[in-house]
Amino acid sequence: GAVVSQHPSWVICKSGTSVKIECRSLDFQATTMFWYRQFPKQSLMLMATSNEGSKATYEQGVEKDKFLINHASLTLSTLTVTSAHPEDSSFYICSARGVLAGAPNEQFFGPGTRLTVL
Amino acid sequence: AQSVTQPDIHITVSEGASLELRCNYSYGATPYLFWYVQSPGQGLQLLLKYFSGDTLVQGIKGFEAEFKRSQSSFNLRKPSVHWSDAAEYFCAVGAKAAGNKLTFGGGTRVLVKP
């Protein structure tokens, strides 16, 4: 149980285009989803926290107009990178937290999405 | 604000030898502590977690970690490493008061020599 998927697993796009990444909780309802970015050989940095049905809360330094997050249902959150540029190339990882017996405070991570902007 | 330090960027161990990865955290109250492992190009796999109770925590793949409040540490250990343990390891701290947001350490890359 507690499986989180991401789609796509990798994407290559041209500079200036927008890219949407999906994060789904497959077997539980995710009241909160988190989006992280990981640059090569670096740690994960939290970008934003989203609660179902409400606006996302962005970490300091993260442009909310560039990284649009939507958490429209209890099983789906999306991250849209708008007008992507090469410096947005990174590994994007989502995690989900829900009301799960035995794991109320645990985040379950997706497999990540590799974004390359040419 | 919470923070996590993993002092060792790289560690090389021989297969069969013991492994210890260090993690120090900073947080005003009792934190939730986690260790994750990441293989290249992959997501995170939870090895073990500490919320409360017994300070020695057993995890998957033969790993264990000990929470030491006096030292603000949560070091990860394995008695005998296997070649498949070569990966990046991340310590993370979370707190209910912080909305369960996780703060990750910088990671430790483990190389296993045959």
| pLDDT tens digit sequence for B83-109 | 999 999 999 998 777 667 899 999 999
Contact B49 A106 (CB under 8 A): yes
Q: What is the mean pLDDT of residues A28-41?
A: 90
Q: Return the pLDDT at A31.
A: 86
- Residue B81 tokens read as 């490493």
Burial of B43 (0-12, 13-18, 19+ CB in 10 A): buried
pLDDT of B111 reads 97
A34 CB within 8 Å of a chain B CB: yes
Q: What is the mean pLDDT of chain A?
A: 91
Burial tier of A99 (Cβ tally within 10 Å: 0-12, 13-18, 19+)? exposed
Query: pLDDT digit string (tens) for A65-95?
Result: 999 999 889 999 999 999 999 999 999 999 9
Is A53 exposed, middle or buried (CB count within 10 Å of its CB: 0-12, 13-18, 19+)? exposed
Indicate if the pLDDT at residue A46 is higher than 80: yes
| Interface check B96 vs A, CB under 8 A | yes
Task: Match 């442009």 to its residue by tokens.
Answer: A63
pLDDT tens sequence across A62-71: 999 999 999 8
Please answer yes or no on whether B100 and A44 come within 8 Å at the CB atom: no
Structure token digits, residue A78 = 């999306």
Least CA distance to A91: which residue of chain B? B41
Distance of CA B41 to the CA centre of its chain: 19
CA B42 to chain centre: 17
Residue A34 has pLDDT above 80, yes or no: yes
* Predicted pLDDT of residue B68: 94
CB–CB contact A114 B100 (8 Å): no
Quote the minimal CA–CA distance from A34 to chain B in Å: 8
| A40 pLDDT higher than 90 | no
Pairing relationship of beta strands A76-81 and B44-50 according to DSSP bridges = unpaired
* pLDDT at residue number A102: 62
| Cis geometry, peptide bond prior to residue A8 (ω within 30 degrees of 0) | yes
Among A34, A44, A90, A116, the residue to mutate for chain B (most B Cβ within 10 A): A44
**Is B105 in Cβ contact with A105 (below 8 Å)?**
no
CB contact under 8 A, B43 and A32: no
Distance CA B24, CA A23 (A): 31
Model confidence band, residue A100 (pLDDT cutoffs 50, 70, 90): low
Distance (Å, whole) CA B111 – CA A95: 27
Mean pLDDT (10-residue bins), chain B, 114 residues:
91 97 88 92 90 92 96 97 96 81 93 95
Q: Which of residues 50-109 of A touch B (CB under 8 A)?
A: 91, 93, 95, 97, 105-107, 109
| Phi/psi of residue B91, nearest 5 degrees | -95, 145
